[in-house]
Amino acid sequence: MKIHVKRIFKIADWDEKSFPKPAGKMTRGTITQSFILFLFIMVPSIFAQTDRKHIILDQSPERSASPFSDCVLVGNTLYVSGHVGADLKTGKVPTSAKEEARLLMDDLKHTVEGAGLTIDDLVMVQVLCTDLDLFDTFNSVYRTYFHGGFPARAFMGCNKLLFGAHFEITAIGVKR
């Protein structure tokens, strides 16, 4: 065991002639800095792997067949899957864009609260919309759900959404 430890120190000090000499001198400071950098890179990714909670609020057989979670909580950060504003009873998207936006925001709020956060914990929202002329209609509903500052948001146009929806929303929240 002593020989192995001694050999490691010889390699680290670059005393052996079979190894090329580094451009700079390897000091305790550079070794310590390298180790700290290693910790900053590796430790968060290790915890991210073990601190992951997949949340599925609807346990029905139809929902269980879908290959995604409603949201994933990693530490204090919540990643919310895409939601559309479908009526829970019929599963259909209403014809009124304003009603669809209300159902969409209700569903988003339900998902976020089901994960232990509030709608005001959202920090980023992305909205897909099939008709950009509905921007003001969506905003008239959207702004009523927040009680302080609004999250950062992207409102993007797209050609078509599932179930004939006008809107789909995804979000990221951070628990306070």
Residue pair 114/173 in contact by the 8 Å Cβ criterion? no
Residue pLDDT, tens place only, 98-142: 999 999 999 999 999 999 999 999 999 999 999 999 999 999 999
Q: Smallest Cα–Cα separation from 142: which of 97, 111, 173, 176?
A: 97
What is the architecture of the domain spanning 52-174?
2-Layer Sandwich (3.30)
Q: Tokens representing 10? A: 């010889």
pTM of the model: 0.69
Highest mean pLDDT range out of 3-7, 13-17, 88-92? 88-92
| Cβ neighbours for 55, distance < 8 A, ≥ 6 positions apart | 69, 70, 71, 72, 73, 111, 114, 115
The domain ranges of the chain are 2-50, 52-174
- Encode pLDDT of 72-94 as tens digits: 999 999 999 999 998 888 889 99
